[in-house]
Structure 1
């Protein structure tokens, strides 16, 4: 039995079905991200776990006990919101200790817990300040400390980094992950940012249209997507046109070349299909182990510092590939002829 079980969860607002037959088991101490575009239902799932929304159908169990009929304050769940939700008239220490006060924790114990939380988030000397005297990143740390102070069984994070600038987001997400691992607290993190989800999660749930399209580790989600939506939403995807030659042997024709894919195809010979490749699977020029070589024309070059993103036209398709920046090798010129190569083992074959 998993620590947190979500089974057959459904939620509608009038005729609008927001969450459909959502199922997820989370182990104790696991960090799981709900990833998807706006409107996919991820925040609604989080709010149902917190008790702020009541599901139309389904069960939410923590340690085997159904939570659906319990009020939010009975669930021992901590939640961090996107907009911080700090009390402007309370100091940092008072904000962190607010839940403890409501719970009737003795004053001395509460003071010790607040000091512990402020040290945990790296703000031990700012307890006397007010929220308006803090930066956005500091305010979000205080919101995290407030959620953790009550020692929740489950921590819920609803896009907590979206209001921060890029550099602070990267730093704070690393801190959140480190704190979560140190406390071994079961955590659900909602985000629409694939990089955030990939970098800090034990597992990712990719949501689309109220359902879980795929659940897996970051490695599985990125390298082995099972649906076209997941493959396109997580990372950049290139598609090359191909024709099935021998489906049982996995042989297809690309640009006049026949290649053998790692697995058989459930399509008839002569069927036109698309072969999906990540930018890092494509190589500019030829290379050992990359048996498929296609002529191309460079159409765009973007200098991104350590990486150069090149876009090329080949076989009627526009593909993007990444190459490392080297000071002694100038980037290719737009309009110049080139070759791109890849290995058949790097082709992503989608089930749907």
Structure 2
């Protein structure tokens, strides 16, 4: 059995089933993100692990022991909330020490632990400040230190970065990941931000409608989606419509251009399927190793600094591709005739 084992978890609120037969095994020290849109059940799963909600059915084992019937204070779990939840009338040090005081830890050990945690989060000299005297990023780090001070078995993070501006979010997510790896603490992170999940996680659980659509590494979730929802939800996706000419041989046609897929496809001859691509899989112009080339017209050029996102119309479809910015090569102009190329091995086949 894994360090944290969630089996057949279900939860309803009235007639609404929010979580449906949810299963997840998390190894000790692993960082797992629950990723999905609002209302998909990810926070409800987190709250059931924390003990703030009771599942209708299912079990939650931590180190082999079922904790479903235990209260939150008996599970030895640390939790960081989206809204920080710091006590405004307590100093930073007092906030970090709060859980230790509740647990009956002695004063000397508490003082040592508070110093250790403030050093860990990079705020060793701000213990006497109050929350209102700190930035949002600093407050969130204090909330993290408070959760870690009690040395929890599992750390739960409920969209802790969503209230911060973009630059602070990027910096803080790196710090959280570094601290998690340094302590080797088992962590579940809830987010609706794909970039956060992809950059921080050992594995990602993509949730939709209360179920786990796919569980995998960031590489597999992005490059090898197993459902249409995952393919469309994670990252930008381009889709061409293709006519199947020989299903068993994997031969299809995109706008009259033949494409040989690496494997057979399900539909019979004459049916249509969707061929999906990430923007980086498409290349502007012909390129070695990209055996399929389609005529195209430039429809939009969006400058993003080091990367230029170019939108083209090809095979009757508007698609996007990314190219690196080069100071010696100006981007194409809207309305220019062009070509786009891709390799059939980069295709994600979807039901049409």
TM-score for both structures, normalised by structure 2? 0.99
Matched, 1:105 2:109: no
Alignment map for 1:89-238 (pairs within 5 Å): 89-238=89-238
CA contact (8 A) 2:243 2:252 kept: yes
In the TM superposition, structure 1's runs of 4+ consecutive aligned residues that sit over 3 Å from their partners are none
Structure 2 residue aligned with 1:298? 298
Structure 2 residue aligned with 1:261? 261
Moved more, 299-308 or 245-254: 245-254
Aligned-residue Cα RMSD (Å) equals: 0.9
Moved more, 161-170 or 341-350: 341-350
Structure 1 residue aligned with 2:283? 283
Task: Name the CA distance, whole Å, in 2 between partners of 1:243 and 1:129.
Answer: 66
Matched, 1:271 2:271: yes
Task: Name the CA distance, whole Å, in 2 between partners of 1:272 and 1:142.
Answer: 54
Task: Name the CA distance, whole Å, in 2 between partners of 1:31 and 1:351.
Answer: 32
Q: CA 1:233/1:138 → structure 2, altered by over 3 Å: closer, same or farther? A: same
CA contact (8 A) 2:50 2:75 kept: yes
Moved more, 266-275 or 67-76: 266-275
Structure 1 residue aligned with 2:81? 81
CA contact (8 A) 2:273 2:349 kept: no
CA contact (8 A) 2:255 2:316 kept: no
Task: Name the CA distance, whole Å, in 1 between partners of 2:134 and 2:304.
Answer: 32
Structure 2 residue aligned with 1:337? 337
Matched, 1:54 2:63: no
Partner deviation per Cα, 1:151-174 (whole Å, 9 max, x = no partner): 000000000000000000000000
* 3-state SS, counterpart of residue 105 of structure 1: coil
Task: Name the CA distance, whole Å, in 2 between partners of 1:351 and 1:225.
Answer: 13
Moved more, 244-253 or 94-103: 244-253
Partner deviation per Cα, 1:181-227 (whole Å, 9 max, x = no partner): 00000000000000000001000000000000000000000000000
Structure 2 residue aligned with 1:246? 246
Partner deviation per Cα, 1:18-52 (whole Å, 9 max, x = no partner): 10000000000000000000110000000000000
Q: C-alpha displacement at 1:107, in angstroms? A: 0.5
Q: C-alpha displacement at 1:337, in angstroms? A: 0.8
* 3-state SS, counterpart of residue 348 of structure 2: coil
TM-score for both structures, normalised by structure 1? 0.99
CA contact (8 A) 1:302 1:308 kept: yes
**Structure 1: gaps (5+ residues):** none
Structure 1 residue aligned with 2:70? 70
Q: C-alpha displacement at 1:255, in angstroms? A: 2.0
CA contact (8 A) 1:226 1:350 kept: no
Q: C-alpha displacement at 1:6, in angstroms? A: 0.4
CA contact (8 A) 2:273 2:351 kept: no
* 3-state SS, counterpart of residue 97 of structure 1: helix
Structure 1 residue aligned with 2:27? 27
Task: Name the CA distance, whole Å, in 2 between partners of 1:340 and 1:51.
Answer: 52
Q: C-alpha displacement at 1:350, in angstroms? A: 3.9
**Structure 2: gaps (5+ residues):** none
Task: Name the CA distance, whole Å, in 1 between partners of 2:350 and 2:315.
Answer: 21
Task: Name the CA distance, whole Å, in 2 between partners of 1:330 and 1:343.
Answer: 25
Task: Name the CA distance, whole Å, in 1 between partners of 2:262 and 2:38.
Answer: 35
Task: Name the CA distance, whole Å, in 2 between partners of 1:217 and 1:48.
Answer: 24
Task: Name the CA distance, whole Å, in 1 between partners of 2:127 and 2:263.
Answer: 60
Q: C-alpha displacement at 1:351, in angstroms? A: 7.4
Matched, 1:3 2:14: no
